[in-house]
Structure 1
Amino acid sequence: MSKILNVAHLGKTYTSGSKKLTVLDDITFSIEAGETFAIVGPSGSGKTTLLGLCAGLDRPDTGSVELCGTYLGDLSEDELALLRNREVGFIFQNFQLLPTLTALENVVVPLELRGSKNPKSIGMDLLDKVGLKDRFHHYPSQLSGGEQQRVALARAFSSRPSILFADEPTGNLDQETGDKVVQLLFDLNQDAGTTLVIVTHDVDLARRTGRILRLKGGKILANETSEAS
């Protein structure tokens, strides 16, 4: 298997007034293509910051990120955006659906940006897979939290990304709804063969992945094989 993500000696520091806060310190790990991978740790351990750096949403102060064979530090902002549009999918805790678009339109947007053929047909098929085919014309405000996250799942997989980053995907959902969303996430991921990277507080969710990276105070505490693998 080939490495889809290589992170080497990554560091990130923020300045607040006269104080400097080191959020990530000398982080090194890699992920194989097709792997499922969880990043866990207490609040403030640097999980979301690390996810953003891996996805090219932010730039590190030290170290490097190689994503899909490309060193992100070599790219301009426009080139980063093109790489993300071509290779990367995202799922966020707060869904981040566009409020003025219907469920179907939200799913179809990435496909239209890529110039895909038959985007509406693909979008309807994905909404059917997440159990929302009869809600395609509803706006986010007309959907429950669980339904919105299912639309977000369909959108994330619509462009068949090489790697999908999920930041606390069940954080705003109750246990039962979260469990259903997680099952859909893993089912869709298995169908697509996508590399899946999840940031989560949920130990049970992390254990469903193949490997777990544990952070504490911006440092790696452990990089271990999960019980599920």
Structure 2
Amino acid sequence: MAKILNVRNLRKTYKSGSKELTVLDGISFEIEAGETFSIVGPSGSGKTTLLGLCAGLDHVDEGSIELCGVELSKLDEDELALLRNRKVGFIFQDFQLLPTLTALENVSVPLELQGKPDAQKVARDLLDKVGLGRRYDHYPSQLSGGEQQRVALARAFSTTPDILFADEPTGNLDEETGEKVIQLLFELNKEMGTTLVIVTHDLDLAQLTQKIIRLKGGKIISNQTKTLA
């Protein structure tokens, strides 16, 4: 299988006054197309920083990241934005829906920006799949947290991304609601053949993926691959 994400000797530091804080130090791993992958570790271990770098939202200090066959350091900001728009989906802990748009509009806008003529139909179909067929015209403020995250799921998959990054997707949800969202996430992911990368502190969630790396102090302390039934 083709490698969709290849990370080599990644290092990221931040300056705080006269001090330099190393957030990631010597990170290397690879993900093949269609795999499910988790990044776990305690708060402050560098999980979200690593996800942002892999998605081209921030720049590395040392090392290299190849995403969808492209070396990210060779792209300018416009090229990075184009790559994300065409190839990458995102799900965030805090949903990040546009408050002035309805559920249907939140899902259809990414498609309309890509010039897809059937944006409304695709958005409706996805909202139906996540159980929100009666919520098309509701605004985020009229939806529960679980419903908002389901809209975010539909939006993330609307452009049929090659790879989807999910940052603590159940972090703001209660256990029962979170389990339903995760079930939908994996169902849609399997149906569309997307590569899924999850950042989470939830070890039960991580165990649902084929590969798991554990971070501590900015380093990988374990790298697990398992065969899923």
The bucket for the TM-score relative to the shorter chain is: over 0.9
Write the mapping of 1:10-29 to structure 2, written as runs, cut at 5 A.
10-29=10-29
Residue in 2 that maps onto 1:77: 77
Residue in 2 that maps onto 1:103: 103
Residue in 2 that maps onto 1:137: 137
Residue in 1 that maps onto 2:156: 156
Name the % identity: 74
Is the contact made by 1:207 and 1:227 (CA closer than 8 Å) also made in structure 2?
no
Q: Letter of the aligned partner of 2:218 in structure 1?
A: G
How many aligned residue pairs are there?
229
Q: Letter of the aligned partner of 1:14 in structure 2?
A: Y
Q: CA deviation at 1:117?
A: 2.0
Q: CA deviation at 1:227?
A: 6.4
Task: State the distance in 1 between where 2:99 and 2:227 align.
Answer: 39
Q: Report Cα offsets for 1:63-122 as digits up to 9, x if no partner.
A: 111000000000000000000000000000000000000000000111011111210000
Residue in 1 that maps onto 2:57: 57
Secondary structure class of the residue paired with 1:135: coil
Secondary structure class of the residue paired with 1:15: strand
Secondary structure class of the residue paired with 1:50: helix
Residue in 1 that maps onto 2:216: 216
Task: State the distance in 2 between where 1:115 and 1:71 align.
Answer: 26
Residue in 2 that maps onto 1:32: 32
Q: Letter of the aligned partner of 1:182 in structure 2?
A: I
Task: State the distance in 2 between where 1:87 and 1:204 align.
Answer: 28
Q: Give the TM-score taking structure 2 as reference length.
A: 0.99
Task: State the distance in 2 between where 1:159 and 1:182 align.
Answer: 19
Task: State the distance in 2 between where 1:73 and 1:172 align.
Answer: 33
Task: State the distance in 1 between where 2:126 and 2:153 align.
Answer: 9
Confirm whether residue 125 of structure 1 aligns to residue 130 of structure 2.
Answer: no
Q: CA deviation at 1:186?
A: 0.2
Q: Which runs of 5+ in 1 are unaligned?
A: none
Residue in 2 that maps onto 1:198: 198
Task: State the distance in 2 between where 1:169 and 1:34 align.
Answer: 19
Residue in 1 that maps onto 2:167: 167
Residue in 2 that maps onto 1:185: 185
Q: Letter of the aligned partner of 1:180 in structure 2?
A: K
